[in-house]
Structure 1
């Protein structure tokens, strides 16, 4: 992110209006279109969704939480949390 001096970019009337709301400090202006969703750029979100779906399917195929926990290197509470997410879908 690049910082620019507002005096060099905005017209004086706009700066006066902005200073009414925020007399000093930094203001972040997000890019047009807003922020991207977490993990959408790196693919991490889709990987976790795939893993969690696999865990859900393994559990309903008869694997125990203990076994899934050991195989996936996750705590039992994490497995229960993942399974609970699917109850509300």
Structure 2
């Protein structure tokens, strides 16, 4: 740490007051700011909170203690403390846009998608192959109908569920919700909230041609 001459920094009257108490001494004057808590500066604390929230979400969606322990490489005892301690304030999950927004605002949009797709017996798109956007409103005219997959559950009738959309081979498809997409189009909906997964190879093309125009 570099030392400064107080005579070069402090006003004369203030220097006189300081000299009454510490003339000839080396003193440290701390910054006038609240110190950051453990892990805040590095962002590690935030990552840990999100991990713990994901663990509680896995448990609430039906995963066993052992399954979660193996997934996160933690001991079963640690998992029990997290899921039984109720220290994580995770948004309430439901198959609604409101719930999806709450997860997205908490930085856990992927977790909402994972729970939702799990309820349909489906797996998340591979994170090595796709990037996921924030929750956005996508014009339905952009999405091609794909009836090759089984229809999702009937809970979409209220039109209050986000779409899960894939952008691959320069086209938008909904392999998880073909029936829901068709219902939205039949009811003349122009756009719907969606999580869009763009393939890593085409993410630049997707963003330059579509991404900047989507509404949040």
- TM-score normalized with structure 1 length: 0.61
How has the CA–CA distance of structure 1 residues 59 and 28 changed in structure 2, closer, same or farther, with 3 Å as cutoff? farther
Partner of 1:82: 82
How has the CA–CA distance of structure 1 residues 82 and 27 changed in structure 2, closer, same or farther, with 3 Å as cutoff? farther
How has the CA–CA distance of structure 1 residues 3 and 60 changed in structure 2, closer, same or farther, with 3 Å as cutoff? farther
Instruction: List, as ranges, runs of 4+ consecutive aligned residues in structure 1 with deviation greater than 4 Å.
Output: 1-4
Tell me how far apart the structure 2 counterparts of residues 3 and 79 of structure 1 sit (CA, whole Å).
Answer: 49
The alpha-carbon deviation at position 86 of structure 1 amounts to 3.7
The alpha-carbon deviation at position 3 of structure 1 amounts to 6.7
Give 1 or 2 for the bigger CA radius of gyration: 2
How has the CA–CA distance of structure 1 residues 60 and 29 changed in structure 2, closer, same or farther, with 3 Å as cutoff? same
Note if contact 2:49-2:88 (Cα within 8 Å) is conserved in structure 1. Answer: no
Tell me how far apart the structure 1 counterparts of residues 2 and 77 of structure 2 sit (CA, whole Å).
Answer: 42
Tell me how far apart the structure 1 counterparts of residues 51 and 74 of structure 2 sit (CA, whole Å).
Answer: 12
Q: Write 1 or 2 for the structure with the bigger share of helix.
A: 1
- TM-score normalized with structure 2 length: 0.31
How has the CA–CA distance of structure 1 residues 29 and 69 changed in structure 2, closer, same or farther, with 3 Å as cutoff? same
Partner of 1:53: 53
Unmatched 5+ stretches in structure 2? 11-26, 90-216
Cα RMSD for the two superposed structures:
3.1
Partner of 2:44: 44
Unmatched 5+ stretches in structure 1? 11-25
Give the paired residue count: 85
